[in-house]
Structure 1
Amino acid sequence: MKHIVPALLLIATAACGFQPVYAPVDGKYAESGMISVSPIDGRQGHMLRRALQQELAVGVPGLTEKVTLSVTLGSNLSRLALRPDGAASRSSIVANGSYRLEGENTRVTGRSNVEAGFLVPDSPYGDIAAQTDAGDRAMRVLAKQIADDIRLKFAGS
């Protein structure tokens, strides 16, 4: 009886057309709209890709063909202010992204930079959490800047 219930649930799920959200589709990742965002390495790259997908989901006015957005991401952690004991009290994450939007008749490139600062807590685990949060904030702002830059380039053409 214990094995029958999971088997029935599995059959019912398969029959309804269930597919995991992040499952590859024909060897590629699912596209949304006219712009497909290529995977970006690392945790911050994943956060940037998700933020770009959200920013560009509404589309770009003037874009009439399917295109692929590729981003090269770089980031650096800097300790800015030091306490009398030599420990950092303020830090900053500087992220830069170079992007290329390519399609059949479209070639657009650009670069954007962003900085997100944070206070360093006394706890080492708090420092890790603060770094992670600052990195996530930087990726959201970087995605907005890249999306705005793309929209401005298409508005001018």
Structure 2
Amino acid sequence: MWLPDRRTLLLSLAALAGCGFTPVYGPQGGGGALLNAVALSEPDDRYDYDFNARFEERLGRGAGPYALDVTISTGVTGLGSLADGQTTRYRLTGRADYVLSPAGSEEALIAGRTDAFTSYSATGSTAATQAAERDAKRRLMVILADQVIDRLLLDADALPQ
């Protein structure tokens, strides 16, 4: 039977400290600079709204020193089909190209691209299929927003102070 040992815990913490680990929201982490400091553009459609809502849920609504420009593109591919050719499952892919810049400037501080996918079933009624599609698109926007935030937080320590 395994019993926790204080020495193991202390050695683990020492190893983390020795490897240069810094919490992103800690005193030396760069994540604090992005909290409530990133302004997003107004959403054009429901899915831009879902992206912005998730972004603001994690980093707060910002009117601070940074502006984030995000271009989202999506695509749909049929995956499964019946013998009569009716598609039963769809794969929804998405790409987010993002640029973080100082508010009112075109200078790119952090730029990148992230990709994600999700899928939904089309075997139910028309209403069920439409609801599944809307949910899949919402989930895709949440995934893309989380990936963009994670990448921004990883590069946040390079932002000018």
**Fold in common (TM above 0.5):** yes
Counterparts of 2:73 and 2:88, CA distance in 1 = 24
- 1:116-155 to structure 2, matched below 5 A, reads 116-155=118-157
Counterparts of 2:102 and 2:158, CA distance in 1 = 18
5+ residue gaps, structure 2: 1-34
One-letter amino acid of the structure 1 residue matched with residue 134 of structure 2: T
Count of residues in correspondence between the two structures: 121
TM-score by length of 1: 0.69
- Percent identity of equivalent pairs: 23
One-letter amino acid of the structure 2 residue matched with residue 54 of structure 1: E
Q: What CA RMSD, in Å, does the superposition of the two structures yield over aligned residues? A: 2.2
Change (3 A) 1:47 1:58: closer
- C-alpha offsets along residues 42-98 of structure 1, whole Å, 9 cap, x if unaligned? 211111111111122299xxxxx6101110110111111111121111111101110
Contact 1:48 1:143 in 2 (8 A): yes
For residue 114 of structure 2, give the secondary structure of its aligned residue in structure 1.
strand
5+ residue gaps, structure 1: 1-31, 60-64
One-letter amino acid of the structure 2 residue matched with residue 134 of structure 1: A
Contact 1:67 1:102 in 2 (8 A): yes
One-letter amino acid of the structure 1 residue matched with residue 155 of structure 2: K
Counterparts of 1:135 and 1:114, CA distance in 2 = 11
TM-score by length of 2: 0.68
